[in-house]
Amino acid sequence: MNSRSAQFRRDGFLVLEGFNTTEACDALMQRGQELAADFDFNGHASVFQTSEQSKTADDYFLDSGDKISFFFEKDAFDNSGKLKGDLFHSLNKIGHALHDLDPVFDAFSRSRQMKALAADLELNDWLIIQSMLIFKHARIGGVVDVHQDSTFLFTEPDSCIGFWFALEDAYKENGCLWAKPGGHQCRLHARFQRKAGGGTEMIHLINEAYDTEGMIPLEVKKGTCIVLHGLLPHYSLPNSSRKSRQAYAIHTIDKKTVYPGTNWLQRDMKKLRGF
Ligand code: FE2
C-alpha cells in the first residue's frame, strides 16, 4: 500500500497541499461567477421565495442531480421574499452535475493529478456522482452541521469518498472543515432519503449524537485537496470573517456497489463517469 492510501485508511482523511494551482482555482471561481450571472433568478423566483418546506423548493432540489442548479443561503431573503444583497453573494452553492455538464468543472474534476490520486487510492472503479461549488461568502455563509457524506450518498456496501478542493485559503474564521483523525471508524448514523409521498426525510440508524471530541480545524491554503472518507463526521462553522471561503467538492462511489433509488440524489446512472 502506498503512503497516501495508508494515511487515508488510518485517518479517514488526507490533506494534500498544492494539489491545484492558483490559476486553476481562480479559473473555477471565475466560471462559477459566470454561471451565476447567467442564472435566470426571476424565472425561478417562486422556488426560492417560498418556505423551505414548499413542494416547489423540494422538487427543485430533488431534480438537481443531473443539472446545474442554484441554492441560496438561508438568510439571503427578507420577510417579503426579496434578496437582501446581490444575487451572487446570496448563493450558498451550485450543484449537482457541474462536473458532467460544464467543461471547466469537468477538466478540474478529471485533472491529471486527480487521475494519479485516484490510482494511488485504488479508485479505478469509482464514479463521480455529485459536484458542488460552495461559496461560503463572507458574513452570510452558514453553518454545515456535523454529518457523514455517506448519509447523503448511501451505497451497499459503503463506498462514498469526497474530494474537497480549497479554492481560497480556509481557516477557522471563514469556516474551514473540522474533523477528527480516525473519526471514520464508526457506523453510519443516518440516511437522507426521498419520502414515498414526496419530499425528503432523515432516517436515524443509531440513537447517538456525533462525538465531536477531538475534532480539529483543517486550516488549509488555496489549492489544497482534502480527501474525505464517507463515514468521517465533519462540519464547518459559519463564515464570520470578511473573506469568502469558496470550495469545490466532488463525491464518488464504487460502481460495483448498489445505489438505492430511495437516495435523495438520483442520476442517470448509465451516464456516470469516473476520473
Ligand atoms: Fe460533507
pLDDT tens digits, one per residue of 73-95: 888 888 887 889 999 999 999 99
Q: Counting Cβ atoms within 10 Å, is residue 120 exposed (0-12), middle (13-18) or buried (19+)? A: middle
Would you list the domain boundaries of the chain? 3-257
- How close is the Cα of 271 to the center of ligand 1, in Å? 24
Q: Counting Cβ atoms within 10 Å, is residue 123 exposed (0-12), middle (13-18) or buried (19+)? A: buried
Instruction: Provide the 3-class DSSP secondary structure of residue 93.
Output: strand
Say which residues have a Cβ less than 8 Å from residue 181's Cβ, sequence separation at least 6. Answer: 10, 11, 12, 13, 214, 216
The grid cell for 188 is 453510519
Q: In what order do the strands lie in the sheet with 126-134?
A: 13-16, 225-229, 161-166, 247-254, 126-134, 91-96, 68-72
9-12: Cβ within 8 A, 24+ apart: 10/181, 10/182, 11/181, 11/182, 11/184, 12/179, 12/181, 12/182, 12/183, 12/184, 12/185, 12/228, 12/229, 12/231, 12/232
- How close is the Cα of 147 to the center of ligand 1, in Å? 6
- How close is the Cα of 143 to the center of ligand 1, in Å? 12
What does the pLDDT read at residue 82?
84
pLDDT tens digits, one per residue of 36-58: 999 988 777 666 665 555 777 78
- How close is the Cα of 134 to the center of ligand 1, in Å? 11
- How close is the Cα of 220 to the center of ligand 1, in Å? 16
Task: Please state, in angstroms and rounded to a whole number, the distance separating the CA atoms of residues 83 and 87.
Answer: 7
- How close is the Cα of 235 to the center of ligand 1, in Å? 7
Tell how strand 177-179 and strand 68-72 pair up: unpaired
Q: Note whether 65 and 200 are within 8 A (CB).
A: no
| Helical pair 3-11 and 112-120, crossing angle rounded to 10 deg | 70
- How close is the Cα of 149 to the center of ligand 1, in Å? 5
pLDDT tens digits, one per residue of 218-245: 999 999 999 999 999 999 999 999 999 9
The single-letter DSSP state of residue 84 is S
State in words which class domain 3-257 has.
mainly beta
- How close is the Cα of 179 to the center of ligand 1, in Å? 10
Q: Note whether 203 and 193 are within 8 A (CB).
A: yes
Of all residues in the chain, the percent with pLDDT exceeding 90 is: 81
Q: Which helix (H) or strand (E) holds 205?
A: none
Task: Please state, in angstroms and rounded to a whole number, the distance separating the CA atoms of residues 168 and 96.
Answer: 21
Which residue numbers in the chain have pLDDT < 70? 45-53
The predicted model scores a pTM of 0.95
- How close is the Cα of 80 to the center of ligand 1, in Å? 32
- How close is the Cα of 77 to the center of ligand 1, in Å? 25
What does the pLDDT read at residue 52?
52
Nearest to 238 by CA among 176, 153, 156, 193: 176
Task: Please state, in angstroms and rounded to a whole number, the distance separating the CA atoms of residues 267 and 150.
Answer: 16
What does the pLDDT read at residue 198?
87
